[in-house]
Amino acid sequence: MSGERHILILGGTTEARRLAALLDADPGLRVTSSLAGRVAEPRLPAGQVRIGGFGGPEGLARWLREQHVDALIDATHPFADTISSNAAKAAAEVHVPLLAVRRPGWVAGPGDDWRTVDSLDAAARALPPLGERVFLTTGRMGLGAFAHLEGMWFLARSVDAPLPPVPPRMEVLLARGPFTVEGERELLRRHRIDVLVTKDSGAAATAAKLVAAREAGIPVVVVRRPPLPEGVRSAGSVAEAAEWARETAARLPDAP
């Protein structure tokens, strides 16, 4: 293999930052991480960084061509289904190898009281019988799904402030994980939370709330993650993704 191989990582997650650090240390690879720009002060990864959207699958395909990208890794949040769909379409159009990195989802254990649903709208429909004081940990986007629940009180935690529409009775807690079980216990107690709503992000950094909810006997409404686009290969760990990137780069023919 002659010259550097260009790897584009669609990032914004802990896995994406760890992967960028691993691959950027490889002298045969040039790594660019793309961040959506939705977080005001993102944690920047190693290597080159670009911030902002591409303009749909067509814009991403054009960028892959112009920047001579050799392999594309979708290491976005498990619920960033629009970005994942765009990545699959763009990679297929320009014939660039694509891998999705998806951390394992959470699994309910003894003592957990989980109600699994397919969307935020379904989560809102499930809430009224479960409690009146809700801890929302679904991020700042999509809180409009709960805006009609005027008789309920919400504590919404996110890295940046939510955008309207939002529930009329809501307190916002700006915080970034990782969170501790002790801290989550105190939060549930202090705000008298009686139901938790979360997405199945699968991150260990935010799993403490599930332990605290189990201990407190609080029901949890869990939103399932969307499936990957059909035909997209996935890796369940950073190490597996790094191995795929190196092997893919080694198999590519030399540029003429």
Residues 118 and 92 in one domain: no
**In degrees rounded to 5, what are phi and psi of residue 172?**
-105, 130
CATH code of the domain containing 45? 3.40.50.720
Residues 190 and 235 in one domain: no
Quote the pLDDT of residue 256: 43
- Its domain, for residue 216, covers 114-223
**CA dist., res. 237 & res. 125, Å (int):** 34
Contact 46/24 with Cβ under 8 angstroms? yes
Across the chain, which has 256 residues, the per-10-residue mean pLDDT values are: 84 94 96 85 90 96 98 96 97 98 94 97 98 96 95 96 95 94 98 97 87 98 96 96 96 70
Residues 217 and 240 in one domain: no
Residues 61 and 153 in one domain: no
CA 76 to chain CA centroid, Å, is 5
Quote the pLDDT of residue 225: 95
Residues 137 and 192 in one domain: yes
**CA dist., res. 121 & res. 223, Å (int):** 10
**CA dist., res. 112 & res. 173, Å (int):** 25
Residues 125 and 204 in one domain: yes
Quote the pLDDT of residue 177: 86
Residues 133 and 234 in one domain: no
The answer to whether position 234 is within a domain reads yes
Residues 210 and 244 in one domain: no
The answer to whether position 256 is within a domain reads no
CATH code of the domain containing 135? 3.40.50
Residues 129 and 188 in one domain: yes
Quote the pLDDT of residue 161: 94
**CA dist., res. 102 & res. 65, Å (int):** 25
Quote the pLDDT of residue 40: 66
DSSP state of 145: G
Q: What is the 3-state secondary structure (H, E, C) of 99-140?
A: EEECCCCCCCCCCCCEEEECCHHHHHHHCCCCCCEEEEECCC
Residues 118 and 206 in one domain: yes
The answer to whether position 108 is within a domain reads no
Quote the pLDDT of residue 20: 98
The answer to whether position 124 is within a domain reads yes
Buried b (16+ CB within 10 A) or exposed e, 69-104: bbbbbbbbbbbbeebbbbbbebbeeeebbbbbbbbe
Quote the pLDDT of residue 2: 47
Residues 161 and 68 in one domain: no
Select from 121, 122, 163, 157 the least CA-distant residue to 139: 157
Tally of domains in the chain: 2
The answer to whether position 185 is within a domain reads yes
Buried b (16+ CB within 10 A) or exposed e, 155-177: bbbbeeebeeebbeebebeeeeb
The answer to whether position 97 is within a domain reads yes
What is the three-class DSSP state of 236? coil
> Which token pair is 221?
């409404």
Residues 193 and 241 in one domain: no
